[in-house]
Amino acid sequence: MVHILGTLLKDHFKVKYALTKFYGIGVNRSNQLCARFQIHDTCRVKELTPYQITAIASFLSSPSTAPALPQYPLAPPTFTPPPPNTASSDLLAKFKAQQANAPPLKMKNKEWRDPLKSLKVESDLRNEIRENIAHQRMIGSYVGRRHAMHLPVRGQNTQNNARTAKKLNTMERW
């Protein structure tokens, strides 16, 4: 059992499904997160190392301030690796020098944008939703009025049904 940002992730869950328990993370975001932290498809929560758990927790607490992703060089078929006793600090220094000069990654002739940079979860997302509703009210729009009256916002019929809207459409949503 792991608690991350107040959400409990049960041990026997696969990580890619356990991450969907966060408010604001669905299947696609979860796959992107697993790829980011090199978590394989069938990894269970109990198999995660403490380093990985800390990495996920620190990322989700503020996704926008996460460091840029490194572009790892991949060995061509003719590559001969240096001997195993090579110091990792030397390799790291060489890699960092290479990264500093590397151009930004391009995919399909466009600069790659991290889809997780704009990720919001839990309380941040709830606040954003509340702010959006408050903004609509402030500018006096139709949408704002409908929220205030606890009625459907998107042009649904109200002669019958509209039960969900009457229950959930409020100004203080979340």
Partner 1 sequence: MSLLSSNARHVALVQKSLAAGALRAASQPAKAAPKERKAAQSIGGVKKGRKEKWETKKKQEKIHKTKDIPRFTRMAETKLMMPKTFQRPATLPEAFKAGSGHVLELPLFGRETLVPRNVGKAVSYSDAPNNAAKVFGLPRKMFFEYRILSSPCSVVRDVTLQAVETLEKAKASSSLDSRIVLHGRAGCGKSFLLHQAVQYAQAEGWVVFYVPRAASLVNSTTTFAYDLRTQTYLQPHASYRTLDKLLKANSALFAKLPMKKALVTEKLNVPAGTTLADLVQIALKDRSAGNSAVVLDALTSELQAQTQFPVLLAVDDFQALLQDSSYKDHFLRPIKANHLSLPRLILDFASGKRTFAKGAVVTALTNSDTNFNVPLEIQDALDLPRAHPVSPYQRRDGDVQGYVHGLTGFKLPDRMSSDEMAGLFSVWKDDMALTTDKYDELFLSKYVESDGNPRDFVWKGLLSTFST
Q: Rule CB under 8 A: which residues touch partner 1?
A: 31-32, 34-36, 38, 40-43, 47, 69-70, 72-77, 79, 81-82, 84-88, 91-92, 95, 105, 107, 112
CA–CA distance, 136 with 132 (Å, rounded to integer): 6
Where helices occur in 15-173 by DSSP H, the ranges are: 15-18, 27-36, 50-61, 88-101, 122-138, 142-148, 163-168
Give the nearest distance from C-beta 120 to partner 1 in angstroms.
Answer: 20
Task: Tell the smallest beta-carbon distance from residue 38 to partner 1 (Å).
Answer: 6
Decide whether 30 or 136 has the Cβ nearer to partner 1: 30
Residue 35, helix vs strand vs coil: helix
C-beta of 5: minimal distance to partner 1 in Å? 22
Min dist CB 18 to partner 1, Å, is 16
Angle between helices 50-61 and 27-36 (to 10 degrees): 120
In this complex, which beta carbon is closest to partner 1, that of residue 105 or of residue 171? 105
- Side-chain-side CA neighbours of 112 within 13 Å: the count stands at 11
* Ramachandran bin of 24, using left for φ above 0, alpha for ψ from -120 to 50, beta for the remaining angles: left
Nearer to partner 1, 26 or 82 (CB): 82
Bridge partners of residue 110, in order along the sequence: 107
CB-nearer residue toward partner 1: 6 or 81: 81
- Token reading at 6: 């107040």
Least Å distance, CB 158 to partner 1, is: 23
Closest to partner 1 by CB, 106 or 167: 106
